[in-house]
A and B are shown apart, each in its own frame.
Chain A
Amino acid sequence: AQSVAQPEDQVNVAEGNPLTVKCTYSVSGNPYLFWYVQYPNRGLQFLLKYITGDNLVKGSYGFEAEFNKSQTSFHLKKPSALVSDSALYFCAVRESNTGGFKTIFGAGTRLFVKA
């Protein structure tokens, strides 16, 4: 069965510092991996995805994520955090091999960026 773990409920970082939000996954086949962000009173927004190819993927707002197959991880990173990055971040996985479209989301990690 597919699963996603976001081990940190909350991440605190100072503005200008690098940030990392962790995600590990479990699927029986090859994964499609995603990060979404939810700002207060707004819907979920797509940030970036890994389907195939280069393990380092770049997305919106300067975010990037690195796919690590051996560690089954897909951590979200940004070199320099902004106060406006404060939001709820969700990692998600879909199993590519079965042809299905069921997407499993993690419980979310709240990011606080302090000025």
Chain B
Amino acid sequence: DTGVSQDPRHKITKRGQNVTFRCDPISEHNRLYWYRQTLGQGPEFLTYFQNEAQLEKSRLLSDRFSAERPKGSFSTLEIQRTEQGDSAMYLCASSPAVGRDEQFFGPGTRLTVL
């Protein structure tokens, strides 16, 4: 399978704990996106990478959230001091560099904060 993969698929944590999610994009894609999706809503943009550079970050993203893509390949999204409001599906997507703007989505990581 050469699609976008995310790990873990499910994460249950207690409020106040830190969590980290991983995304492996399609290998030749240099653009990578993170979204958050809650029930009944569409994906909400969090951040965007082109190669290893984080070029856009939503103002909705609090300082508890950080994302990295150190070698321009996989990416991690960390949430520090989780809150119940962080419970959501976290989606990763990737797209090729030039000429194609559609995004290829992974299956998501479902986070539940107790």
Chain A residues engaging chain B, CB cutoff 8 angstroms = 4, 32, 34, 36, 42-46, 49, 51, 90, 92, 94, 100-108
Contacts and interface: CB of A to CB of B under 8 A. Distances in A.
A56 B92 CA distance: 29
Interface residues of B, number: 25
Nearest to A48: B102
- Chain A interface helix/strand/loop/mixed: strand
A67 B54 CA distance: 31
B104 A46 contact: yes
B42 A34 contact: no
Contacts, number: 57
Given A43-B107, A94-B101, A101 B44 contact: no
Interface string B17-51: 00000000000000101010000111111001010
Given A90-B42, A90-B43, A101 B104 contact: no
